Structure 1
Amino acid sequence: MTSVYNANRITGWLLVPATYLLLTFLAVCSMTVMYFIKLYEIVTTIENWTNFIPMEWYVSFAISIAMTLFSVYILRLMFSHSRHFPRRFIIWLLILLLLGLKTFAFSTIDDKTALQVLAWPLFGAGFFVPYLKRSVRVKMTFTQDR
């Protein structure tokens, strides 16, 4: 029995990376919103706020904004069935993995929490990279030049 793929829709196993991408996008957006709220609180309550915020906080805020924008770009590629989606999604996954490693190595949180932060990017990269590289379904779905 042969199965027929509808290459114009994201269905079947493609829903798994789509769900992962959407949930991670929501998490990154919420982190960016929390940074904006904290910045607003600091700016409105502290007189000399420029000396109050450490440089590492600004770097984390910038990374959060960049990942939000990159996630929007990846979502657009996915839902437009762009042929660029698989490679860019893999890059996105590797960046998430690097950010998880950064958290594990340089944050002052306990090891258990750091491992939990690192687990999702490891799972994502470990499962989705081979799937995107080898799946016939992925090759059939993402064929548009966008």
Structure 2
Amino acid sequence: MTTTSAERIGGWLLGPLAWLLMALLSTSLALVLFAGTLATPQMLTALTAQPTKDLVMWLVSFAFAIAIWYYTLWLVIAFFKRRRSVPKHYIIWLLISVLLAVKSFAFSPISDEMALRQLLFPLLAAALMVPYFKRSARVKKTFINP
């Protein structure tokens, strides 16, 4: 497999890359917290004592955190390899981030101020980065490898 010489990752592309790396770090920390719950006997006992509905929701959240972590890791690797599919998948990843923020805004028992703060950054990133990834000549020149 040969790779074509592409432009280096730089300029405005450093922002989306930094956002991806920070998201990978935060999802990794979330997975550590989930694993910590499973690692200690007291927390495991408290978790299994929960009603079935709450336990199922916890397991769904854990599975979704694993899926998001894996997708973010794959996207970071593809970003560094300058794969052709990165712009499309980055837009999908941004939309998933917005959906997760909307979900926390609508369904989580947190204050509206905190939920709006969590919603603001994904919305702002999507509003700025989706048009950039769709129309930028630099993006088209950078992500050319199969």
The percent identity for this pair of structures is: 41
CA contact (8 A) 1:17 1:128 kept: yes
Are residue 30 (structure 1) and residue 29 (structure 2) matched? yes
Cα shift readout 1:85-140 (whole Å, capped 9, x = no counterpart):
00001001101110110000001111011111111211111111011011000000
1:26 CA drift (Å): 0.8
Task: Indicate the residue corresponding to 2:13 in structure 1.
Answer: 14
User: Which 4+ runs in 1 deviate beyond 4 A?
Assistant: 46-49
In 2, the alpha carbon distance for the partners of 1:8 and 1:24 equals 24
Tell me: CA distance 1:99–1:8, structure 2 relative to 1, closer, same or farther (3 Å). Answer: same
In the TM superposition, what are the counterparts of 1:112-127 in structure 2 within 5 Å? 112-127=113-128
In 2, the alpha carbon distance for the partners of 1:61 and 1:20 equals 22
Q: Unaligned stretches of 5+ in structure 2?
A: none
Task: Indicate the residue corresponding to 2:56 in structure 1.
Answer: 55
In 2, the alpha carbon distance for the partners of 1:34 and 1:17 equals 26
| AA at the equivalent of 1:123 | L
Task: Indicate the residue corresponding to 1:129 in structure 2.
Answer: 130
- TM-score in terms of structure 2 length: 0.87
Q: Unaligned stretches of 5+ in structure 1?
A: 1-5
In 2, the alpha carbon distance for the partners of 1:48 and 1:132 equals 45
In 2, the alpha carbon distance for the partners of 1:106 and 1:90 equals 24
Select between 28-37 and 130-139 the one with higher mean Cα deviation: 28-37
In 1, the alpha carbon distance for the partners of 2:134 and 2:89 equals 12
CA contact (8 A) 2:6 2:144 kept: no
In 2, the alpha carbon distance for the partners of 1:9 and 1:75 equals 15
CA RMSD across the alignment = 1.7
CA contact (8 A) 1:7 1:137 kept: no
Select between 49-58 and 81-90 the one with higher mean Cα deviation: 49-58
| AA at the equivalent of 1:14 | L
In 2, the alpha carbon distance for the partners of 1:62 and 1:81 equals 28
Select between 83-92 and 114-123 the one with higher mean Cα deviation: 114-123
